[in-house]
Amino acid sequence: MERKKESRIPLGELDTKMQIVKNFVAELFSKTLFQDGKDALSDFTLPQMQTLLTFKEDQEYSIGKLGRDAQVKRSTITNMVDYLEREGIAERFRDSGDRRVVKVRLTEKGREIRKTFSRKRAKEMEKIFSQLSEQDREALLYHLDEAYQILKKV
The 10s digit of each residue's pLDDT in 5-53 is 555 767 788 888 888 888 887 777 777 766 555 455 557 777 788 888 8
* Residue range of the domain that includes 63: 11-151
For the domain that residue 55 is a member of, what is the CATH number?
1.10.10.10
**Is the residue at 3 inside a domain?**
no
Its pTM surpasses 0.85:
no
> What tens digit of pLDDT does each residue of 87-113 get?
999 999 987 888 888 899 999 999 999
Residue 1 domain-assigned (yes or no): no
Query: Is 126:138 a contact under the CB 8 Å cutoff?
Result: no
Number of domains in the chain: 1
Instruction: Count Cβ atoms within 10 A of the Cβ of residue 80 and give its class: 0-12 exposed, 13-18 middle, 19 or more buried.
Output: buried
In a domain, 146, yes or no: yes
